[in-house]
Structure 1
């Protein structure tokens, strides 16, 4: 079984997500899967390894925004744990164009699942770029996590369990 199939099952199991659209590199490798759970009002994007260009990165998020604009979704799970390409050049677009568009379309909350530590792939630090984007958006609707279960709790309930025990 491929790594992408295992990762997709992880998210599918936690969020009851079904695959909606696959995004392929020029060599036909899948670099992202957008899924949904219409009953919960959830859209997910799960990333794998590399994409070929910033246009490829933006195409996935443009598709996510289009789904939100259809009016059926309020929650977004972005799983960046296995993304190896840096989307830093797209960060201004993400913060200034994409996120306002998704918020206007009804985004209540987005959980971004990051690697547990800064992972550098071929000199690129996806963790740093994602963390910077989260700081730049910083309106309380978008939060970063390293744990799928905590991301799910916050995403659907808007709070985190008490961890002071």
Structure 2
């Protein structure tokens, strides 16, 4: 019997999120878990290893959109630390469809937690070098972090960490 899939313990502890939906590859391996904390207004998506097809990536983000459309959420924590798939195949879809819809559904801020080697400065605007369209939509509301405590501080309080 396979153990139930749960959100990463550090994410669960920091944001008191509970697993809401688990996403499996065709071989039954978990590739993502979406969790939420309605009291804090936080949706989280935690990614593991890889997914097989772009549609699997899109399925998770459509689910996140549905949660925001429920009106219960304002903040999004995306944990990409353990994701090994490249989602460049969905960049146009992200910019043209899903992110505008999520912003329209009430998302105020998104903290993206990435592996340590990915960013140089905590709180960097993750769309600073992206297309003009998504940059104008995001308006600084999507930031990348390697430190979960700093991500939480910014996500819930809107405070960016001090730069050295």
Q: TM-score range by the shorter chain?
A: 0.7 to 0.9
Gap change, CA 1:140 and 1:163, over 3 Å in 2? closer
Kept in 2: contact 1:77–1:111 (CA 8 A): yes
CA distance in 2, matches of 1:69, 1:150: 27
Relative to the length of structure 2, the TM-score reads: 0.85
CA distance in 1, matches of 2:45, 2:55: 16
Q: Which residue of 2 is the match for residue 158 of structure 1?
A: 158
CA distance in 1, matches of 2:17, 2:8: 9
Alignment coverage as a number of residue pairs:
149
CA distance in 1, matches of 2:156, 2:126: 22
| Cα shift readout 1:53-101 (whole Å, capped 9, x = no counterpart) | 0000000000000100010000000000000011111011112110100
Q: Which residue of 2 is the match for residue 15 of structure 1?
A: 15
- Is 1:96 equivalent to 2:89 in the alignment? no
Off by >6 Å, runs of 4+ in structure 1: none
- Is 1:105 equivalent to 2:98 in the alignment? no
Kept in 2: contact 1:91–1:133 (CA 8 A): no
Relative to the length of structure 1, the TM-score reads: 0.84
Partner-residue secondary structure (3-state), 2:72: coil
In structure 2, which of residues 114, 127, 138 is the aligned counterpart of residue 134 of structure 1?
A: 127
Structure 2 unaligned residues grouped into runs of 5+: 119-123
Whichever structure has more helix as a proportion of its residues is 1
Partner-residue secondary structure (3-state), 2:85: coil
Kept in 1: contact 2:125–2:142 (CA 8 A): no
CA distance in 2, matches of 1:83, 1:104: 27
Partner-residue secondary structure (3-state), 1:43: strand
Structure 1 unaligned residues grouped into runs of 5+: 119-130
